[in-house]
Structure 1
């Protein structure tokens, strides 16, 4: 099963990705984990990313896609994966489609975790992080909507939406149910 999880900050993507990876017996691939591993191991891509970050610039897609390309070439993704945090833009989605096509694969589904903004704000405020003020959280939600709308259009045929409000286990069951026997 090859899945992408999308949803606004606080929707539970990371939590659900870990649970689904275990249930479906496929690796969870987090873009954040990819970056941390490449930076820690001082890989060529990690060093390139570090140069951009040190200059206060965004890491370009080709570096991020390069990290993902290397990760998708590993043996443990043969029967599938769950992507969390990638793609974030239509350009990244195009790159992912190309990577998969080159390997003779395609995504089984893109799961959109749906949560109302007020619930998201409460979840994120409850984390107690100093940078999580209500204004900052609401702005992040706005940026997510702006950046992700084209992504959802890109994946319209593979998109399934899941109500991500409730107990963690219930949400996992909803996702598995909506995916069915793919």
Structure 2
């Protein structure tokens, strides 16, 4: 099973990815995690990424694609994977298509968790309040202003990826405002048909 999960921050991609990892026994691949691992391992692409990051710049699409390509070669990703937070741009989506094609692979599904963004902000505020009430630290991502900035960046840069996959007939849209169990059931229905 080779799958991409799309949706804005706070839509539930991480929650659903964990469930899919358990169900299918395939890894969830986060570009941030892969980037850190490549840098730490000192791979050739990781060394390039470190130089860019040390200079305080954003890592280029070429480096990100290189890191994804390296990660897909690892044994645990051979029977499938879940990409969460990637691709972030249409250029990355096209590069991923080319990468998979070069390996004789294709995506089984692209699932977008569609959410009401105003309600989503409310959800994040509530989650932060509940954490404070329990005496737990509030995730940095749950600060409403930081969250709104991330949401704006998603709408500006990443929301265009879903139409790219829709035009190719690969996109399945699921209502991410439903409860977790219902979202999981809807994703499973899509994947069972893939």
The equivalent position to 1:169 in structure 2, one of 156, 175, 181, is 181
Shift of 1:168: 2.4
Query: Which residue is 1:149 aligned to?
Result: 159
TM-score (norm 2): 0.85
Q: CA deviation digits over 1:135-169, x for unaligned, max 9?
A: 33223222212212331121111101111124323
Residues 1:76 and 1:132: Cα distance change in structure 2 (over 3 Å)? closer
Shift of 1:131: 6.2
Query: Which residue is 1:180 aligned to?
Result: 192
Q: For the residues of structure 2 that align with 1:120 and 1:39, how far apart are their CA atoms? A: 33
Aligned residues: 182
Q: For the residues of structure 2 that align with 1:174 and 1:67, how far apart are their CA atoms? A: 31
Query: Which residue is 2:45 aligned to?
Result: 45
Question: Which blocks of at least 5 consecutive residues in structure 1 are unaligned?
Answer: none
Q: CA deviation digits over 1:105-156, x for unaligned, max 9?
A: 1111110011211232133332423564433322322221221233112111
Question: Which blocks of at least 5 consecutive residues in structure 2 are unaligned?
Answer: 129-137
Q: For the residues of structure 2 that align with 1:30 and 1:131, how far apart are their CA atoms? A: 16
Question: Does the aligned pair in 1 maintain the 2:3–2:110 contact within 8 Å?
Answer: yes
Query: Which residue is 1:95 aligned to?
Result: 95
Residues 1:153 and 1:131: Cα distance change in structure 2 (over 3 Å)? closer
Root mean square deviation of aligned Cα:
1.8
Query: Which residue is 1:56 aligned to?
Result: 56
Question: Does the aligned pair in 1 maintain the 2:5–2:85 contact within 8 Å?
Answer: yes
Q: For the residues of structure 2 that align with 1:61 and 1:76, how far apart are their CA atoms? A: 24
Q: CA deviation digits over 1:40-73, x for unaligned, max 9?
A: 2222222221211121110111111111101112
Shift of 1:180: 2.6
Q: For the residues of structure 2 that align with 1:54 and 1:121, how far apart are their CA atoms? A: 33
TM-score (norm 1): 0.90
Q: For the residues of structure 2 that align with 1:101 and 1:60, how far apart are their CA atoms? A: 21
Is the deviation greater in 163-172 or in 54-63? 163-172
